[in-house]
């Protein structure tokens, strides 16, 4: 498997839970050197998709391969290259933090003690505390430590920051950026805090009802959607504006704010030339793009 | 709809209650048959209605607490005062209905039925309030039902039903006074301003939460965290940690042996850390052995009930989302080793308990209790293979119904029924086949089934 091959490859993966179709013909490829944002509403199938990647779920149809191996047959050699933080936060509650860290580190030959110590200091984890009595935020920090301590090539983060406070979230995002400096790695992050996610991701996957609606680089996604403020220089704007893919339009005295899709900056400027107006083009935030895509 | 009506609607809206009503209906029918079929004074036949009042008091409050613990209910206007009205209304109606059969009590003179009615009504209330009180202090209503059944049998053994009935008949004034007094106390206690605050958002396992796996886990975790912080500060013991991590390190990285030792550590780490507690368990085991010895042949339940109850809630690490590098193969081998180790340890434990009874049989005296003589018998130790047979079956059931604990409990109960009713079949089989071959055959069969199911789940099923 060369470094240019995708780490994860999903082909027409379907998964049903009773009558619910959790994944519906999902095709996805994940390459090294990327931070992928996996976005979607509750029940969109994000966690199901992630669990297929590590082989905890088996597809009803289709294929999922991770590190070139069928995900359901992943062995120790492949799993030791994957770090996983999950939203349930399942840990060994009866251990003390330091004992749990020692226990997990015993599994990995490449456990980074220096990283562990730095992380414990930075994230203020109390090593003498009992895991079962940690607050949800502390628990989440510990889960992240256990997932990154062995410097995995593929880091899967399923709602990792939902219980972290703003400062810890910022530290966490910095940490992700440091991890991804090694181009041999990939990070998949599923989160509802889009304002955070957009600071770090370079690829976006948006899901709805088990289907992937968008799978492209974040730059491409941002280029697809723009907000155009058109201000008339002489009285009212015409009733019909020369834009076709208008997602949203707000008008007021001689001014219109349009959200348009699939227009380049040149195309917008050309379209606006026919009007006697001033235009201002703004990129949309991930949250705004997400709302447009899923609605 | 007023708030009281909304609360009363719980009584038919919760589907789980229909099962309880079926059970209650059966109990009422049996009580009527016991009391009115051949009414005899002083035999405790009339007390069953009062036992029903106790049960209803318990259930009513379990339902009320279910609502009280929901944070939103605290803010509902007028809701906090409804609890008292709901409990009192149900109590009065049930106590009145429960007192009516006492009108048929044999040998009552002209004016006595009215006094008897009042006395029975108040006795019903007393038992109702006992049920209410128990439900208020018990955080795990589902588990309490089990204890209540046990307490019921113990009560019958010690003739409490006859004593209670005699009190109602012979001391009606005292019973009425106590009934009224308890009702007044209950009225003020239930009207306490801070009642709703005390229960608001408290983790409480209500009657139907026995099937709610997530809630039970949260409950256990919360309770355990308190216990760990207070009592088990040094657990797992450093030497236990050193031992298991040392064993893990003896295997190369990514070898199944390392994963298996990790699994053994996470399963038995706490238990081994508490070895001093296990030793003190010997002192608990001794009276248990004595009790079992005097039970006679029934003592063999130690081979059936103890192992099953010990493993019923063991969580096999097949289904786990905590990812270390154990793949499906590693999980399969680890769980197999864990199941085998658990079976051997529990079998050894019950065999030791049974073995205790052998020397005791020579020295324990006969006990005469309530006209009967109880002789100590050694527990039939030849049945010590039973845990090895039962544990894989229970594990198999757990593997199948991992997400539905309700089915685990029901299936285990069915298994017991099958065992107790199928005893004659086993005896018939043992006349045809050499018992040793039969035992070995059953053992092999149960383990083959377990391993096959485990293999299927590890290879073909979702593991979360």
Tokens of B139: 């955080």
Q: Which of B229, B266, B462 sits opposite A58 (nearest CB)?
A: B462
pTM for this prediction: 0.80
Contact A76 B249 (CB under 8 A): no
Over range B450-462, report the average pLDDT.
94
Asked if pLDDT for residue B74 goes beyond 80, the answer is: no
10 Å CB burial of residue B75 (0-12, 13-18, 19+) is exposed
Of A75, A88, A107, the CB nearest to B262: A107
What is the layout of strands, in order, in the sheet containing A246-252? A246-252, A255-261, A225-232, A277-283
- Helix axis angle for B141-157 and B48-68, nearest 10°, is 160
Query: Is the pLDDT confidence value at A1 over 70?
Result: no
Question: Is there a contact between A55 and B328 if contact means CB atoms under 8 Å apart?
Answer: yes
Kindly report which listed range (A171-180, A183-192, B153-162, B170-179) carries the lowest average pLDDT score: B153-162
Q: Which residues pair with A204 in a beta bridge?
A: A37, A216
* CATH architecture of the domain with range A8-209: 3-Layer(aba) Sandwich (3.40)
Q: Give B7's pLDDT tier (boundaries 50, 70, 90).
A: low
> Of B324, B329, B332, B459, which to mutate for an interface test with A (greatest number of A Cβ within 10 Å)?
B324
Question: Which of B268, B325, B455 best tests the A interface by mutation, with the highest count of A CBs <10 A?
Answer: B325
pLDDT of residue A3: 64
CB-CB under 8 Å, A79 with B324: yes
Q: What is the pLDDT of residues B384-429, one digit of tens each?
A: 898 999 999 999 999 988 877 777 877 888 888 787 777 677 777 7
Asked whether residue B3 carries a pLDDT value surpassing 80, the answer given is no
Q: What residues have CB less than 8 Å from B326, skipping those under 6 apart? A: A76, A79, B259, B262, B263, B334
- B327 in A contact zone (CB under 8 Å): yes
Question: CB contact, 8 Å: A69 with chain B?
Answer: no
pLDDT digits (tens, 9 = 90+) for A30-62: 999 999 999 999 999 999 999 999 999 999 999
Choose, out of B220, B248, B321, the residue to mutate when testing the contact with A (most A CBs < 10 Å): B321
Phi, psi at B47, each rounded to 5°? -80, -15
Question: Can you give the pLDDT at residue B31?
Answer: 78
- Mean model confidence pLDDT for chain B: 83
For B323, which of A75, A82, A93 is closest by C-beta distance? Answer: A82
B contacts of A188 (beta carbons < 8 Å): none
Each residue of A225-253: pLDDT tens digit?
A: 989 888 887 777 777 787 888 888 888 87
Residue of A nearest to B241 (CA): A99
Q: Of the spans A51-65, A130-144, A280-294, B59-73, which averages the highest pLDDT?
A: A51-65
Using one digit for the tens of pLDDT, what is the confidence trace for B146-162?
Answer: 677 777 777 777 788 88
Instruction: Give me the mean pLDDT over the B35-40 stretch.
Output: 74
First to last CA, chain B: 43
pLDDT digits (tens, 9 = 90+) for B249-268: 999 999 999 999 999 999 88
Q: For residue B254, give the nearest of A55, A80, A83 by CB distance.
A: A80
Per DSSP bridges, beta strands A35-40 and A186-190 are parallel
Domains of chain B, by residue range, sit at: 3-211, 274-460
CA-wise closest residue to A103 among B334, B20, B262: B262
B464:A107 CB<8 A = no
Q: What are phi and psi of B72, to 5 degrees?
A: -65, -30
Residues of A in contact with B264 (CB under 8 A): none
Among A51-65, A120-134, B73-87, B340-354, the range with the most confident prediction by mean pLDDT is: A51-65
From A101's Cα to the closest Cα of chain B, the distance in A is: 12
Set of chain A residues whose Cβ sits within 8 Å of the Cβ of B266 = 92, 103
Higher confidence at residue A161 or residue A64?
A64
A133 interfaces chain B, CB cutoff of 8 Å: yes
| Cβ B315 vs Cβ B394: under 8 Å | no
Over residues A8-18, the mean pLDDT reads 95
Is the confidence at residue A211, as pLDDT, over 90?
A: yes
**DSSP letter string, B361-394:** HHHPPPEEETTEEE------GGGGGHHHHHHHHH
Q: What is the spatial distance between Cα B5 and Cα B463, in angstroms, rounded to a whole number?
A: 44
Is A166 within 8 Å of A94 (Cβ atoms)? no
Nearest CA in chain A to B250: A106
Q: A103 preceded by cis ω (within 30°)?
A: no
Among candidates B229, B329, B462 on the partner chain, residue whose Cβ is nearest the Cβ of A57 = B462
Tell me the three state secondary structure of residue A17: strand
Name which of A18, A15, A2 is nearest A50 in CA terms: A15
Kindly tell me if the per-residue pLDDT of B244 is higher than 80.
Answer: yes
- Most A-contacting residue of B322, B326, B404, B458 (CB-CB within 10 A), to test interface: B322
| Distance between CA atoms of residues A54 and A57, nearest Å | 8
Torsion of CA A219, A222, A224, A230, to 10 degrees: -140
What pLDDT score was predicted for residue A104?
95
Distances (CA, A) of B96 to B63, B122, B287: 21, 9, 43
Q: Which residues of B touch A60 (CB under 8 A)?
A: none
Helix (H) or strand (E) holding A203: strand A203-208
A91 part of contact set with chain B, CB < 8 Å? yes
Q: Note whether B460 contacts A58, CB cutoff 8 Å.
A: yes
Instruction: Please answer yes or no on whether A106 and B323 come within 8 Å at the CB atom.
Output: no
What ipTM was assigned to the predicted interfaces of this complex?
0.89
Rounded to the nearest angstrom, the minimum Cα separation between B216 and chain A is 15
CA distance A109 to chain B (A): 7
CA distance B415 to B393: 9
pLDDT at B343: 94
């Amino acid at each position: 498997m060369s470094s240019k091959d995708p780490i994860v490859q999903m082909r027409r993966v379907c998964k049903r839970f009773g009558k619910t179709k959790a994944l519906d013909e999902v095709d996805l490829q994940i390459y090294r050197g990327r931070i992928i944002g996996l976005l979607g509403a509750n029940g969109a199938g994000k966690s199901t998709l992630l669990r297929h990647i590590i082989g905890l779920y088996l597809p009803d149809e289709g294929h999922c391969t991770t590190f070139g191996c069928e995900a359901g047959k992943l062995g120790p050699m492949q799993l030791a290259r994957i770090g996983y933080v999950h939203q349930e936060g399942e840990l060994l509650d009866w251990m003390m933090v330091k004992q749990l860290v020692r226990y997990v580190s015993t599994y990995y030959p490449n456990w980074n003690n220096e990283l562990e110590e730095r992380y414990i200091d930075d994230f203020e984890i109390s090593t003498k505390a009992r895991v079962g009595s940690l607050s949800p935020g502390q628990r989440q920090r510990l889960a992240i430590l256990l997932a990154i301590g062995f410097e995995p090539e593929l880091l899967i983060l399923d709602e990792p920051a939902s219980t972290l406070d703003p400062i810890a979230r910022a530290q966490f995002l910095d940490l992700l950026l440091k991890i991804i400096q090694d181009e041999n790695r990939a990070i998949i992050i599923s989160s509802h805090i889009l304002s955070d996610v957009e600071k770090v991701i370079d690829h976006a996957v948006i899901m709805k009802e088990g289907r992937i609606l968008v799978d492209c680089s974040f730059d491409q996604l941002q280029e697809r959607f723009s907000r155009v403020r058109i201000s008339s220089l002489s009285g009212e704007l015409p009733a019909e504006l020369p834009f076709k893919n208008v997602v949203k339009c707000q008008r007021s005295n001689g001014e219109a704010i349009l959200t348009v899709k699939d227009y380049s900056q040149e195309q917008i400027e050309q379209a606006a030339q026919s009007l006697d107006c001033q235009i201002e083009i703004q990129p949309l935030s991930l949250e705004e793009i997400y709302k447009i895509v899923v609605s | 709809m007023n708030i009281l009506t909304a609360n009363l609607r719980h009584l038919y809206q919760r589907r789980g209650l229909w099962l309880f009503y079926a059970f209650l209906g059966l109990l009422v029918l049996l009580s009527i048959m016991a009391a009115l079929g051949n009414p005899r004074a002083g035999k405790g036949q009339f007390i069953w209605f009062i036992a029903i009042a106790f049960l209803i008091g318990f259930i009513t409050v379990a339902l009320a607490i279910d609502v009280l613990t929901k944070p939103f209910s605290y803010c509902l206007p007028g809701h906090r005062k409804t609890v008292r009205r709901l409990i009192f209304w149900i109590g009065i109606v049930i106590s009145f209905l429960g007192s009516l059969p006492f009108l048929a009590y044999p040998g009552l003179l002209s004016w006595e039925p009215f006094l008897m009615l009042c006395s029975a009504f108040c006795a019903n209330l007393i038992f109702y309030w006992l049920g209410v009180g128990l439900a208020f202090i018990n955080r795990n209503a589902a588990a309490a039902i089990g204890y209540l059944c046990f307490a019921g049998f113990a009560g019958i053994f010690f003739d409490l039903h006859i004593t209670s009935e005699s009190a109602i008949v012979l001391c009606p004034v005292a019973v009425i006074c106590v009934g009224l007094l308890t009702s007044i106390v209950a009225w003020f206690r239930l009207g306490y301003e801070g009642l709703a605050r005390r229960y608001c958002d408290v983790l409480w396992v209500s009657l139907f939460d026995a099937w709610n796996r997530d809630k039970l886990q949260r409950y256990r975790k919360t309770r355990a965290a308190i216990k760990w912080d207070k009592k088990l500060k040094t657990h797992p013991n450093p030497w236990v940690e050193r031992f298991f991590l040392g064993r893990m390190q003896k295997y190369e990285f990514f070898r199944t042996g390392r994963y298996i030792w990790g699994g053994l550590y996470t399963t038995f780490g706490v238990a081994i850390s508490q070895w001093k507690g296990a030793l003190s368990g010997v002192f608990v085991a001794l009276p248990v052995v004595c009790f079992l010895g005097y039970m006679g042949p029934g003592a063999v339940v130690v081979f059936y009930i103890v192992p099953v109850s010990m493993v019923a809630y063991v969580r096999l690490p097949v289904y786990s989302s905590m990812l270390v590098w154990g793949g499906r193969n590693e999980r399969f081998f680890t769980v197999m080793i864990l199941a085998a180790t658990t079976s051997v340890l529990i079998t050894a434990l019950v065999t030791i308990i049974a073995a205790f009874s052998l020397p005791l049989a020579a020295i324990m005296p006969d006990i005469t209790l309530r006209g009967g003589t109880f002789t100590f018998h050694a527990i039939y130790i030849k049945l010590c293979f039973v845990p090895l047979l039962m544990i894989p079956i229970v594990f198999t059931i757990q593997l199948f119904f991992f997400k539905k604990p309700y089915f685990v409990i029901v299936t285990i109960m069915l298994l017991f029924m099958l065992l107790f009713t199928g005893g004659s079949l086993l005896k018939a089989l043992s006349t045809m086949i050499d018992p040793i071959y039969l035992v070995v055959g059953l053992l092999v069969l149960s383990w083959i089934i377990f391993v096959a199911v485990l293999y299927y789940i590890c290879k073909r099923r979702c593991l979360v």
